[in-house]
Amino acid sequence: MPGRLQHKAALITGAGSGIGLESSILFAQEGANVLLVDVNFDNAQKAAKLIQERSPNVKAIPFKADVSKEAEVEASVALAVKEFGRLDVVFNNAGIMHPADDNALNTEERIWDLTMNINLKGVWWGCKHAIKAMRENPTDASKGLHTGGSIINTASFVAIMGAATPQLAYTASKGAVLAMTRELAMVHAREGIRLNSLCPGPLKTPLLMDFLNTDEKKQRRLVHLPMGRFGEAVELANAALFLASDESSYITGTDFKVDGGLSSAY
Ligand code: NAD
């Protein structure tokens, strides 16, 4: 049976860990060639090795880039197009949650800027260069390949809900990802370029587990989760795969929530 991303090419940022890693593994299993972008090149290389072992029929290429730097994002997109001949899926997923005391009174300007540069500006650069590349995609109807593509931007449940534990810069950056994605989706809809935000709930990945670094903090967070557990990265990867594939061909401009019911809770 052909894979759900057969013949397609994908670029995933933050591919060395958590959601990005699980998505890269899944996209490759479903037939996509994958460019694995991470500022941590060791982890990107490990991911590429793992993927090549499991999915030897696709290409998995690690690439070191800091998504907050436009030239590095542009270079990653150029490499994907050079290696794969096209770019159908861009998953702008890399992000940070700084452990600093991040509230309105204490957050330092440098923490605000760092967070915005990676979580928001990094997504802008990713969208900008993805859109340029997707406009040029060659058409091969026999393989289901057309111009356009799917861009998925990782936001967060905090983009739509207020968190009592202050993460001001993080929350603001994720809210802006939602707004930017929605607008870009409208602007580029008629070019066949779909853009959706993915809104994860609290997950068992290094990003959150390092932040909730004691059992007490984890238990306090668990009380608010309707399912009584943290999500797994692969549960987000499954949603990203759906948004990346042609199965979601009439879905654009959404904030796709994968949060174990958290955003419906009272
Ligand atoms: P993670 O820490 O496991 O993985 C993040 C990856 O991004 C790492 O490999 C890291 O090296 C990479 N990265 C960080 N800064 C980068 C940069 N400047 N350039 C390139 N790569 C960079 O985290 P995760 O939980 O998989 O998070 C992925 C995304 O999901 C993030 O945008 C995060 O904000 C979002 N998110 C996570 C949760 C959660 O609970 N874990 C909840 C909501 C949203």
Quick check: CB of 161 below 6 Å from ligand 1? Answer: no
Torsion sign (Cα): 79, 252, 258, 123: positive
Distance from C-alpha of 257 to C-alpha of 254, rounded to nearest angstrom: 9
Local confidence band at 165 (pLDDT 50, 70, 90 cut-offs): confident
User: Distances from the Cα of 24 to the Cαs of 12, 52, 61, 161, in angstroms?
Assistant: 7, 11, 11, 28
pLDDT band at 266 (very low <50, low <70, confident <90, very high): confident
Position 9 scores a pLDDT of: 98
- Residue 224: partners with Cβ closer than 8 Å, 6 or more residues away: 262, 265
186 vs 56: CA distance, rounded Å: 38
Mean pLDDT of 45-55: 98
Q: What is the pLDDT of residue 168?
A: 93
What's the ipTM?
A: 0.99
Return the closest-CA partner of residue 205 out of 178, 182, 237: 237
For residue 200 and ligand 1, the question of a CB distance below 6 A is answered with: yes
What 3-state class would DSSP assign to 25? helix
Mutate to test the pocket of ligand 1, among 11, 13, 19, 211 (most ligand atoms within 8 A of CB): 19
Which residue carries 């452990």 as its tokens?
A: 99
Is the pLDDT score of 99 beyond 90?
Answer: no
Any ligand 1 atom below 6 A from CB of 151:
no
Q: Name the band, by pLDDT with cuts 50, 70 and 90, for residue 190.
A: very high
Measured in Å, residue 66 CA sits from the centre of ligand 1 at 12
Domains and CATH numbers, the chain: 9-261 (3.40.50.720)
Active-site choice (63, 125, 170, 230): 170
Helix locations, the chain, DSSP H: 18-29, 41-54, 70-84, 109-116, 122-135, 168-188, 206-211, 215-222, 233-244
Annotation marks residue 170 as catalytic: yes
What is the distance between the alpha carbons of residues 181 and 150, in angstroms, rounded to a whole number? 12
Average pLDDT over residues 178-203: 98
In this prediction, residue 164 carries a pLDDT of 78
What is the percentage of the chain residues whose pLDDT exceeds 90? 92
Per-residue confidence (pLDDT) for residue 84, from 0 to 100: 98
The stretch 33-58 carries a mean pLDDT of 98
Q: Which of 2-6, 67-71, 218-222 has the highest mean pLDDT?
A: 67-71
